[in-house]
């Protein structure tokens, strides 16, 4: 029996965060249950017993412990399995910097990227509608402001929260990939320090393993069509 079950989707950036965390800890003793988001499998009554809002990912342990929300899951797994992606709990300043950097990632980066990705990628699959150009423009403006500030930060330190790679940096990877997918990777490549940081994150062996697994899965899916 696997140690736990991870419910999610390969197309979900939130699920990818959890998979990246597990890869960093070389944790393979779990079952990945893939849900078809386009078919609404995450909205079933059975699944909503695990996640009341019908989202992915969720993890469930044999003893019944269940947790949802990707960042909470990542932090829990890093703590439970001693994956070295968190500051020492005894270091109040480092913990504060970690929490500060997480707030920045959520509100100044993830929020506009998710809005942009919805308008330029997800919307056509869900509703077939055209992008709301005002939302696109506002999101791009917010991201320009964000990346200018991040450029200054990363000229002073190697990673987002400190000199070491942490969960905060990992949180960025899926949505950075999504930015390239929707045609706005220039926001990253046009900022020298940001681009160098992104290359460091992307080159990590754990990240490369997840990217290779997803590429292989996509190729297999295409072969079945």
Identify whether residues 55 and 148 lie together within a single domain: no
User: Is residue 127 assigned to a domain?
Assistant: yes
User: Is residue 221 assigned to a domain?
Assistant: no
- Whether residue 150 is predicted with pLDDT greater than 90 in this model: the reply is yes
User: Is residue 225 assigned to a domain?
Assistant: no
How many domains is the chain built from?
A: 2
Identify whether residues 102 and 202 lie together within a single domain: yes
Question: What's the domain range around 53?
Answer: 5-85
Looking at beta carbons, which pairs linking 73-79 to residues 24 or more positions away fall under 8 Å? 73/17, 73/18, 73/21, 74/17, 74/18, 74/21, 74/167, 74/170, 74/171, 75/167, 77/18, 77/21, 77/22, 77/25, 77/27, 78/21, 78/25, 78/167
Identify whether residues 76 and 26 lie together within a single domain: yes
Report percent pLDDT > 70 for the chain: 99
| Residue whose pair of structure tokens reads 């990590």 in the numeric block | 204
Domain end residue (candidates: 85, 109, 132):
85
Domain end residue (candidates: 55, 85, 115):
85
Least confident of 93-97, 121-125, 130-134, 217-221: 121-125
Identify whether residues 101 and 199 lie together within a single domain: yes
- Whether residue 167 is predicted with pLDDT greater than 80 in this model: the reply is yes
- Whether residue 225 is predicted with pLDDT greater than 70 in this model: the reply is no
User: Is residue 223 assigned to a domain?
Assistant: no
Q: Kindly report the pTM of this predicted structure.
A: 0.95
Identify whether residues 25 and 56 lie together within a single domain: yes
Identify whether residues 103 and 120 lie together within a single domain: yes
Q: What is the mean pLDDT of the chain?
A: 95
Identify whether residues 70 and 150 lie together within a single domain: no
């Amino acid at each position: 029996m696997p140690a736990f079950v991870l419910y999610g989707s390969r197309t979900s950036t939130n699920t990818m965060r959890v998979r990246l965390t597990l890869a960093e800890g070389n944790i393979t003793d779990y079952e990945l249950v893939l849900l078809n988001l386009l078919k609404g499998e995450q909205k079933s009554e059975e699944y909503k017993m695990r996640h009341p809002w019908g989202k992915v990912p969720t993890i469930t342990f044999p003893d019944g412990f269940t947790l949802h929300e990707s960042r909470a899951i990542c932090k829990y797994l890093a703590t439970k399995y001693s994956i070295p992606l968190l500051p020492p709990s005894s270091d109040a300043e480092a913990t504060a910097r970690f929490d500060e950097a997480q707030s920045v990632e959520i509100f100044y980066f993830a929020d506009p990227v998710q809005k942009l990705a919805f308008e330029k990628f997800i919307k056509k699959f869900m509703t077939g509608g055209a992008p709301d150009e005002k939302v696109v423009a506002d999101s791009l403006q917010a991201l320009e402001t964000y990346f200018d500030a991040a450029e200054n930060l990363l000229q002073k330190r190697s990673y987002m929260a400190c000199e070491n790679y942490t969960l905060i940096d990992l949180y960025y990877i899926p949505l950075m990939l999504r930015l390239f997918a929707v045609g706005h990777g220039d926001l990253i490549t046009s900022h020298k320090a940001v681009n160098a940081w992104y290359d460091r994150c992307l080159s990590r062996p754990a990240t490369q393993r997840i990217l290779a697994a997803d590429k292989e899965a996509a190729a297999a899916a295409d072969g079945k069509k």
